[in-house]
Structure 1
């Protein structure tokens, strides 16, 4: 098969691993920068033009679309969909997952456990917002933050008020979430491929850090998920229609809670912690569905 990885950097670990596993299984793998694609829209013949050629020979794509290029990147994914090219994750699913508010609303409707969350339209009544989530400490998240950026722990009412006022002043929309103290700065990442958990790790934030992101100095270790955690991760992926994704969960006194669902999860941390070949699982997922 001719498989295209939509990535801006072919030297990234995740991209390199997908190239390796795809070539090992006899496929032609090409890395294409989505921002350098031209989308040609005409009657009955949607096409994508890249540098000096039309990409009308592509059998499948693997979107590795960064959050900063979501709009145009998803437009390119959508164009391939119009060309009947198989994609490991659809443009609509990427957009849905990148909008934290929309994601939580869908997860809530699906009956999926999550920290109590409040969204308000630049409200100045911080006291009321805090009461909705049980009071401080609270987590305040920008709607479009990634890798732990735009996530703040407000330990007091004054701190929460200052953060919300600052975000409001910048017209940056934010969610206020209950703080799950018993998680102790750790979370679980389940990697989903074809609707099944193929690997899981526990990420622990460094000393004094409530965020467990590996990009922020956190550590990761293999973990065997409980039956409840497995079911929750799979249910969350299905609710957001993401056959390939990373599901982040918190361990709480009332059971596992969904923290976030990532439509383009990195492979370095999960492969390193689990010693499982996640990249190969993604390639074989394409093979099964393309046939």
Structure 2
């Protein structure tokens, strides 16, 4: 198969792993910086152009590794290939939905996937009432488009919550409020969904003085077994967003597992290191099976 990996750098761990595994399995692979791609639309036709010069052809598969800084542009590039029938491990709409935490939670709530109680509002006159809707302080304040644990704030008192919320409103920053799940004990679970399976899962534990559990924020990981219900939640969540490959984050509470986030570009370094699962190979094998089933132009 001819595979394009869209990534801003060929030195990113996840990009390199996917490239190496695809090459090892006999595929033709190109790493393309989507930030340097342009699209020309003219008379019902389109061209995707790299660095203003080279016209990019049609691959069999694209693997988008779209970062938060240029989500809109990256999703638009993915969309151009989607419209031509190219299989993608992350659909353009799924990339946009997953990047917006509120939109993700709205979809999950409508689909009856359990989430932490969440409030969003632009009304600064009833901040106390908003906090009270979540059972009072402490509360979690999240930027709607934060990533790697950035833009997630624990407000331990009502006073601090009101101060932070006032500041974010003044900065015209979109955010949401969530209940603080004390019993999660600064832990969450990352489930790596590929197709109809969770192929790897790890528990992430935050630093002693940090409620966030992200590996990027200094947290550590360990292997964890998911219940059948947790696996089903993760798979359903990825499917509802249109993401054949996704990282789904859950926390365990007194009410059971709750979904907190879905990542359309899950990092592979932490989960491969802590679980010893070859996730990159699993993704490439899934692509092979999917494309062979659809009769893709296979070169193997």
Q: What TM-score range do you get, normalising by the shorter chain?
A: over 0.9
Query: In structure 2, what is the Cα distance between the partners aligned to 1:214 and 1:24?
Result: 28
Give how far 1:134 is off.
0.9
Does residue 15 of structure 1 match 2:24? no
Deviations 1:233-286 (A, max 9, x none): 112112222111000000101100001011110000111111111101111121
Unpaired runs of at least 5, structure 1: none
2:33 aligns to what? 33
Contact preservation (8 Å) 1:191, 1:246: yes
Does residue 161 of structure 1 match 2:149? no
Give how far 1:100 is off.
1.1
Unpaired runs of at least 5, structure 2: 293-300
Contact preservation (8 Å) 1:118, 1:177: yes
2:150 aligns to what? 149
Aligned length: 291
**CA RMSD in angstroms, aligned pairs only:** 1.1
Query: In structure 2, what is the Cα distance between the partners aligned to 1:88 and 1:232?
Result: 19
Deviations 1:184-240 (A, max 9, x none): 000000000013100000000011100001111000011111122112111211222
Query: In structure 1, what is the Cα distance between the partners aligned to 2:179 and 2:158?
Result: 13
Contact preservation (8 Å) 1:195, 1:237: no
Does residue 247 of structure 1 match 2:248? yes
Contact preservation (8 Å) 1:47, 1:83: no
Contact preservation (8 Å) 2:221, 2:270: yes
Q: Which SS does the other structure have where 1:101 is aligned?
A: helix
2:46 aligns to what? 46
Please identify, of 236-245 and 200-209, the stretch whose mean Cα deviation from structure 2 is larger: 236-245
Q: Which SS does the other structure have where 1:206 is aligned?
A: coil
1:231 aligns to what? 232
Runs of 4 or more above 3 Å deviation: none
2:124 aligns to what? 123
1:103 aligns to what? 104
Give how far 1:44 is off.
4.1
Contact preservation (8 Å) 1:63, 1:88: yes
Instruction: Give the TM-score normalised by the residue count of structure 2.
Output: 0.94
Contact preservation (8 Å) 2:124, 2:166: no
1:220 aligns to what? 221
Give how far 1:57 is off.
3.6
Instruction: Give the TM-score normalised by the residue count of structure 1.
Output: 0.97
Contact preservation (8 Å) 1:46, 1:83: no
Give how far 1:71 is off.
1.1
Give how far 1:48 is off.
1.0
1:84 aligns to what? 85
